[in-house]
Amino acid sequence: MTGLEPFGARLRRVMDERGPLCVGIDPHASLLAEWGLGDTVDGLERFSRTVVEAVADRVAVLKPQSAFFERFGSRGVAVLETTVREAREAGALVVMDAKRGDIGSTMAAYAEAFLHKDAPLFSDALTVSPYLGYGSLSPAVALARESGAGLFVLALTSNPEGGEVQHAVRADGRTVGATVLGHLALENAGEEPLGSFGAVVGATLGDLSSYDLDMGGPILAPGIGAQGATPADLPSVFGRAVRNVLPNVSRGVLRHGPDVVALRDASERFADEIRAALTSA
């Protein structure tokens, strides 16, 4: 398989050119209703096309939430395929938010669905869960390297339930979350300007100084906007790793639809605020 340039290098470049912003594509029923759309495949398609039209040529990353497409069955997945293709054609990188995690041949099949260059849902990166053991992700890691794609591994998530697993202390004295970050540091060792194996770390978590977040790869940071975090919070949460943070905003941008200009304006405001916060750090 002939792969792309490594995801980390492509991500660093597009973040520098367009600003470090990831916009989620989360067409849940209440948001479709706010846009005046039906909770139907047609509503799903109009929503997704509008977001791509509005921002795919200007934001660094778009992150479709696979579940909101899958719930419509094969027709919804077809819309997702089109969304991914058109977003990438417009110059945005696509992170597929599917949070896959399994073992052996099943994990390999999930990886092929999203990370094989010829797959209809091929994405620049995929979110994955390491909580069947980090080693269970090996098929996805291998295919990502081969295809020039990346992974974002759940490490320190913003949902309150996550702490009972992620902050649990192992026999060696490290937390589970710190162990995940340690594995990612090894994956990214020697990669410049940015490794392709990132972590998902919530921007709402406050002081994370007890964790070494500077693991050589990107940090996908949900929580900006509707969940309560602001761009100004980023330096205090992420410390010296803030230069590699990719903040994710979903409702904070999407609530301005279906007006294309309003969506663009909202995304540009967030990108400017995030850039200013990271520059001052």
88 pLDDT above the threshold of 90: yes
Instruction: Give percent of the chain with pLDDT exceeding 70.
Output: 99
Q: Per DSSP, which regions of the chain are E strands?
A: 22-25, 61-64, 93-100, 125-128, 150-156, 197-201, 219-221, 245-249
Among the ranges given (2-6, 50-54, 64-68, 162-166), the one the predictor scored with the smallest mean pLDDT: 2-6
* CA 159/CA 168 separation, integer angstroms: 15
- Helix pair angle (41-55, 74-89), 10° resolution: 10
HSE, CB side, 13 Å, CA atoms: give it for residue 30: 2
Q: How confident is the model over 110-122, as pLDDT tens digits?
A: 999 999 999 999 9
For residue 258, is the peptide bond before it cis, meaning its omega torsion is within 30 degrees of 0?
yes
DSSP class of 4: P
Distance of CA 239 to the CA centre of its chain: 20
Task: List the catalytic residue out of 85, 99, 251, 255.
Answer: 99
Mean confidence (pLDDT) of the chain: 96
Whether the full predicted model's pTM is greater than 0.85, yes or no, is yes
Instruction: Give percent of the chain with pLDDT exceeding 90.
Output: 94
Residue type (1 letter), 27: P
2 pLDDT above the threshold of 90: no
Q: Which residues pair with 249 in a beta bridge?
A: 23
CA distances from 272 to 60, 79, 97, 231, 241 (A): 13, 30, 24, 10, 19
Residue type (1 letter), 275: R
Q: How many residues does the chain have?
A: 281
**Which ranges of the chain would DSSP assign to H, the alpha helix?**
7-18, 29-34, 41-55, 66-70, 74-89, 104-115, 138-147, 163-166, 176-188, 234-238, 251-254, 260-280
The reply to whether 99 belongs to the active site is yes
55 pLDDT above the threshold of 80: yes
CA distances from 169 to 161, 181, 184, 232 (A): 16, 14, 18, 31
Can you tell me the mean pLDDT for 117-141?
98
Q: How confident is the model over 231-260, as pLDDT tens digits?
A: 999 999 999 999 999 999 999 999 999 999
